[in-house]
Structure 1
Amino acid sequence: MNTIPVDNLGKPAIQSPLALKKQKSFISDTASIIYHVHKEEIAKELDENGLTFFELAGPRETIYFNPKEITCGIVTCGGLCPGINDVLRAIVIELFERYGCNKVLGFHYGYKGLTSKSELEPLFLNPDNVDNIHTTGGTILSSSRGPQDPEEMVNTLIKRNIKILFVIGGDGTMRGAQVLVEHIKKRNLKISIIAIPKTIDNDLNYVEKSFGFETAVEEAMRVIDSAHVEAKGAPNGIGLVKLMGRFSGFIASHASLASSNVNFCLIPEVPFKLYGEDGFLACLENRVKNKSKRHAVIVVAEGAGQSIIEKTMDKETQDASGNIKFKNIGNFLKTEIEKFFSEKNVEANVKYIDPSYIIRSVPANAFDSAYSLVLAQSAVHAGMAGKTNILIGYWNHHYTHVPINMTIEKRKQINPNSRLWQTVMETTLQPESIFL
């Protein structure tokens, strides 16, 4: 058996204050959860290198840091997502009320807050000033994108006596955290970096579901249903909704299933044909011309169809994090649909909706609030135990410790042969001919 190794700052030798509170569910470092669940995959692993396991997250009976002597820090990076304030609140309350820490600093605008570029002093966080933040969207610390000088960030951690830094973010944030860990190791410092996965696209590897994803799907479903009403309210009405999903179509797919009013779902993982007798536009025409239908609802993820749109790779097409700035597939499709129907002298009423900023800025729903809380508590347990260079994952219904370098090896995407995508195809009844 191979349990994926996790970095530790040293041997935990301090009795956890949770033990004094009659905690009954301490987790051993030998406790683990299996990676594969399908018989065929397990058999293959047994034939090769043996089974792979993740170390389980949770409170340890002995911890590495003395809670009374350390300062903890928190940064929130990247785009907004439902549930960030829930995570912030839960971290602070767990540190203060359960472990007895009395100094937690929140750095403004992500990694920028750890550099001289920051114009704001860190915010001293405590249970009182985070008491109600989970009822609002966004993050009270604000956020930013882009890498910062790792040496300067480490210097700030030293200056502020930060022993545990909680990093809340997605793929780019994890890459930044990895660099930060490397520079901390080079300087032989005992500083823990604990990451919590925040990506509304749900595209972080080895994490079944990111917090905020359920809320995003729920909000997107409402938008799709509105697009359906609009489409049915006009001759040859076409409701076109663009949703988040640069490289992964999880929100588009799940929202399409939740609504069940979607006729075409286009995602980055499955290229599609726009033109030709069996292309998307021709199939769309057949749908709206059908006397029993006379309307259509289209959901497209922002990263879909990029090969159809002319794009370049120069600096102007990259954001502060180095991500490619995709062309607007929503506007492109709207234009091409209107042009296609106009050339055929067929009336088409296209209602285009892009709710991205609305969806990502709402408060978390009940599921994501509860999920965010446990992720945050697990992060605190890991940090206090001296774990470092890990992300709190969720796998096979268990919270886990995942080395950060594993999460950035590749991006999680929908397998076109998976049951998820086949269910989307069955539900939308979109013809397979439009896909390459």
Structure 2
Amino acid sequence: MVDSGDSQMKLANGDSGYVLEDVPHLTDYIPDLPTYTNPLQDNPSYSAVKQYFVNMDDTVSQKIVVHKNGPRGTHFRRAGPRQKVYFKSDEVYACIVTCGGLCPGLNTVIREIVCGLYHMYGVSKVLGIDGGYRGFYSKNTISMTPKFVNDIHKRGGTILGTSRGGHDTSKIVDSIQDRGINQVYIIGGDGTQKGAAVIYEEIQRRGLKVAVAGIPKTIDNDIPVIDKSFGFDTAVEEAQRAINAAHVEAESTENGIGVVKLMGRYSGFIAMYATLASRDVDCCLIPESPFYLEGKGGLFEFIKKRLKENGHMVIVIAEGAGQDLLSKSLQSMDQQDASGNKLLQDVGLWISHRIKDHFAKENKMNITLKYIDPTYMIRAIPANASDNVYCTLLAHSAIHGAMAGYTGFTVGPVNGRHAYIPFNRVTEKQNKVVITDRMWARLLSSTDQPSFMSPKPKVVNKAKKREEPATLLNGNI
């Protein structure tokens, strides 16, 4: 294979259209680094494992479905322990930092980084950075041991605290250098991973032997490339409680309506999966699928129809849905939080008032509407069993990568296999629900709601109508 690309991309090309989007390695800018035998081979816990180490040439395909004669496409380096490591265990001084909003599983990732370093590699010096990125130079640090973190996975939030935006990269790297830290584990969303990429670049510029590993975090599941983000399963499961409460309230009164607002600024994955899991939802509204209220085929007409059919209904709406309608009827506020995210207005409260006003004006149908907003309850709880296992795998994959000398990477499952992914690939865009994909079609079928695609019928040119060739779907089956 031949390396190609600029300094920002580390590419290798192979036969049949094979492309490896590789991640940086310490030896890229520090030549002749010594290597050491991986202590895992002498670890009694791994004595029953037939193959300790991942083959150096193993890669993971980004697309699992391809045409028979099509190119093999983009691959990423497979995560896992390597036969040789670039750090002596007693010389490792690691640190962990959490940034951005809360998410179920943060404490589990922290715990498993500490315990994984200790039990797999014999690393005993791990520092917790208090209060996000700024904590590197403005707050006290916390000494992390397996005993200290033993029960933290049972709590929500992060024991290290968090913050958004407003950090000084140069001061962070100064702190890393002054303390003698040589492994940095950064847990956070796309903004945090962008910050991690800048920190890595400054460390590389200074020629420091410091591995920077990211663990992507977002409750909205909007990080591209990886299969899903940790905490998402827990969020969907907890959302069921709110949906169930809304359903009980709605069916207990004549023409009862339950409205539930769920998280999802730009991506409606929580709302979509919670709706599919519940089966009690009559209508799901997400940012990717525009909707309209009035007129034929609009939301008001559908609500009236469903109430006449069933006598009650439940509406789930993601927080980022309908913001265009909201800004037209209310004074738009172009404000941002510290991370640069647009501050959204409460679409759940707004749509509840609009529904009440509409039926009050009609004066033909009395409704009883209950609005439930479980937003911060969902993200502040401990991870469930599925996410706890997933967080463990993420933490261990990050540890194996850092010990093997990889740096400037984030980790996550791609088609079920954990891989090392360049920072730019998880920050270049947001993962969104594809409303022309089968999963959204399943939701529409489950709820029997209209697609709300357009209030105006499309004009079809029958003269030019012809059969289009079949194309591969890029989403779920």
Calculate the TM-score normalised by the size of structure 2: 0.86
Aligned to 2:103: 81
Residue 345 of structure 2: SS of its match in structure 1? coil
2:219 is the counterpart of 1:197:
no
* Aligned partner of residue 306 in structure 2, secondary structure: helix
Equivalent residue, structure 2, for 1:109: 131
1:257-336 → structure 2 map (5 Å cutoff): 257-290=276-309, 293-310=310-327, 317-336=335-354
How much does 1:235 deviate?
Answer: 1.8
Number of the residue aligned with 1:356: 375
Deviation string 1:82-123 (CA, Å, 9 cap, x unpaired) is: 11111111100111121111110001111121123x3xx100
Matched, 1:96 2:118: yes
C-alpha deviations, 1:124-179, integer Å up to 9, x for none? Answer: 00000001111111111111111411001101111211111100111111111111
Query: 1:42-99: per-residue Cα shift (whole Å, max 9, x none)?
Result: 744x2xxx52211110111111111211210000111111111111111001111211
Q: Which sections of structure 2, spanning at least 5 residues, go unmatched?
A: 1-17, 28-32, 456-477
Task: State the identity %.
Answer: 43
- The root-mean-square deviation of aligned C-alpha atoms, in Å, is 1.7
Cα deviation 1:316-336 (Å, max 9, x = unaligned): 610010111111110110110
1:227 equivalent in structure 2: 246
Contact 1:262–1:299 under 8 Å retained in 2 = yes
Residue 435 of structure 1 deviates from its aligned partner by 5.2
Structure 1 residues 189 and 435: alpha-carbon distance in aligned structure 2, compared to 1, 3 A threshold: farther
Deviations 1:354-378 (A, max 9, x none): 1011111111111001110011011
> Which AA in structure 1 matches 2:52?
S
Which residue of structure 2 aligns with residue 31 of structure 1? Answer: 58
Query: Structure 1 8/314 Cα, relative in aligned 2: closer, same or farther at 3 Å?
Result: farther
SS of equivalent residue, structure 1 residue 374 = helix
2:226 alignment partner, SS class: coil
Q: For 2:185 and 2:23, how far apart are their aligned partners in 1?
A: 17
| 2:94 maps to amino acid | C
CA distance in 2, matches of 1:339, 1:183: 56
Q: Give 1:235's aligned amino acid.
A: E
* Aligned-partner residue type, residue 341 of structure 1: F
Work out whether 1:148 is the aligned partner of 2:170: no
Question: Is the 8 Å Cα contact of residues 280 and 434 (structure 1) preserved in structure 2?
Answer: no
**Contact 2:285-2:318 at 8 Å conserved across structures:** yes
Structural mapping, 1:171-186, within 5 Å: 171-186=190-205
1:5 aligns with 2:22: yes
- Out of 359, 366, 386, the residue aligned to residue 347 of structure 1 is 366
* 1:412 counterpart residue number: 431
User: Any idea what the Cα deviations from partners look like across 1:10-43, whole Å, max 9, x if unmatched?
Assistant: 2561111112224633012311111212233x74
SS of 2:315's partner is strand
Question: Residues 391 and 404 of structure 1 are in contact (CA less than 8 Å); yes or no, is this contact kept in structure 2?
Answer: yes
Residue aligning to 1:256:
275
Aligned length: 426
1:378 corresponds to which letter in structure 2? S
Instruction: Classify the secondary structure of the residue corresponding to 1:162.
Output: coil
**Cα distance, 1:248 vs structure 2:** 0.6
C-alpha separation in 2, matches of 1:62 and 1:169: 29
What's the secondary structure of 2:108's corresponding residue? helix
Tell whether the 8 Å contact from 1:274 to 1:434 is kept in structure 2 after alignment.
Answer: no
Distance 2:81 2:88 in 1: 15
Q: Secondary structure in 2 aligned to 1:317?
A: coil
Distance 1:191 1:372 in 2: 23
C-alpha distance in structure 2 between counterparts of 1:262 and 1:435, whole Å = 22
* Alignment correspondent of 2:475: none
Aligned to 1:391: 410
Alignment check: 8 A CA contact 1:12 1:386 kept: no
- Which of the two has higher C-alpha Rg? 2
Secondary structure, counterpart of 2:284 in structure 1: strand
Residues 130, 422 of structure 1: alpha-carbon distance in 2 compared, 3 angstrom cutoff:
same
- The 1-side partners of 2:403 and 2:221 are apart by 27
The one-letter code matched in structure 2 to 1:336 is R
Q: Does the aligned pair in 1 maintain the 2:134–2:168 contact within 8 Å? A: no
CA gap 1:313/1:130 in 2 versus in 1, 3 angstroms: farther
Post-superposition CA distance 1:243-294 (Å, at most 9, x none): 001111110000000000111000111111122222111211221133xx01
d(CA) in 1 for partners of 2:333 and 2:283? 33
Q: How does 1:22-61 map to 2 (within 5 A)?
A: 22=47, 24-40=51-67, 43-44=69-70, 46=71, 50-61=72-83
* C-alpha distance in 2 between matches for 1:32 and 1:127: 32
Give, as a single letter, the amino acid of the residue that structure 2 aligns with 1:130.
V
> Are the structure 2 counterparts of residues 306 and 405 from structure 1 closer, same or farther at C-alpha, using a change threshold of 3 Å?
same
- Kept in 1: contact 2:289–2:452 (CA 8 A): no
CA distance in 1, matches of 2:399, 2:273: 31
In 2, Cα distance between the equivalents of 1:175 and 1:206?
A: 15
Question: Is the 8 Å Cα contact of residues 261 and 297 (structure 1) preserved in structure 2?
Answer: yes
**Distance in 1 (alpha carbons) for counterparts of 2:307 and 2:158:** 43
Question: Is 2:445 the counterpart of 1:423?
Answer: no
Q: Distance in 2 between matches of 1:433 and 1:349?
A: 24
Q: Distance in 1 between matches of 2:286 and 2:380?
A: 23
